[in-house]
Amino acid sequence: MRVGMLTAALPDERLEDLARWAQTAGLQALQVAAWPAGSTEPGAADHLDPARCDPGAAERVRSLFGRHGLALSGLAYNDNPLHPDPARREAVHRHLETCIDAAADLGGAPVSMFVGRNPSVDVAADLADAETVLTPLVERAGERGVDLMVENCPKQDWHPDAYPGNLAYSPQLWEWAFDLGLWLNFDPSHLPPLGIDPVAALRPYVHRVRHVEAKDVETFPDIRDRYGYLGPVEGAGDPGEPWWRYRAAGLGEIDWRRVIDVLHEGGYDGVISIEHEDPVWSDAPGQVRAGIELSHRVLRPLLVAEG
């Protein structure tokens, strides 16, 4: 296993500069944010434009990574393929297709996505719709030699009542996704706020994990005991008062020693990609880089190089 980072934490920096800094920081891989250019979605970044990733551009990216001793652990584009607006949904699907094609040209890196949700219909209808609209994407990825994987982020901000807006948030839904031919981009930080033990949830599914994202989570039980797991209701207190927040690895409650042990026992030998969203270490790019280095110092000693 190797430690890398998701580039979205530093959206205003060039991929070339991120690669140089990653090498200096001792990171071994980059998971590259590949949203459409100029996207204003929270957490979006466009360090690689898949629509312009022709063979020449792909060769330049491969050369860049080679010069800095980095692996490309994947492309990330997490938008809503089940968006209720047909035009927006179509745009998301077209961009996912370009991500798949670019990943193939870059050597077969996996592509991370969300299942999404249309909150105007019930979950059963959404899942049936997803089977119809995601299957062509899975088939396209298979034809290009690319693994399409879903991240288990619940995306409650995509639902008007703060219910999960991404139908890949639980082991039950992972199994549904696996039946479609999708893989898992596993992020343990999303599970404690749902009442799920990340180590117990991970153990049966390591063979379907294609990529791991590393961020921690800190919880505040006194706030949870007032609002419940779903958080505050609009009009009944401060709706912005969360009972948990993301942290750098080691500053929250994830037992990284056990997570990595379960991954190792299950045969995972891929990248642990730091996804930095810690509000305490995000006031400026320098703080973000320091937060990433904090996570790296926690994770790297847990990985034993095999001869």
The answer, yes or no, to whether residue 70 has pLDDT greater than 60, is yes
The answer, yes or no, to whether residue 60 has pLDDT greater than 50, is yes
Confidence class for position 69, pLDDT limits 50, 70, 90: very high
Return d(Cα 137, Cα 83) in angstroms, integer: 16
138 touches 97 (CB < 8 A): no
pLDDT at 240: 55
pLDDT at 144: 97
Tell me the HSE value of 189 on the side-chain side, using a 13 A CA sphere: 24
Six token digits for residue 235:
């009009």
Whole-model pTM: value is 0.95
Return d(Cα 258, Cα 252) in angstroms, integer: 14
| Interval 236-259: pLDDT, tens | 555 556 899 999 999 999 999 999
84 touches 118 (CB < 8 A): yes
Domains in the chain: ranges and CATH? 2-302 (3.20.20.150)
Return d(Cα 226, Cα 306) in angstroms, integer: 48
The answer, yes or no, to whether residue 23 has pLDDT greater than 60, is yes
CA distances 51 to 58, 102, 270, Å, are 11, 8, 27
232 touches 173 (CB < 8 A): no
Instruction: Produce one character per residue of 88-110: b if its CB has 16 or more CB atoms within 10 Å, e if not.
Output: ebeebbebbbbbbbbbbbbeebb
The answer, yes or no, to whether residue 307 has pLDDT greater than 50, is no
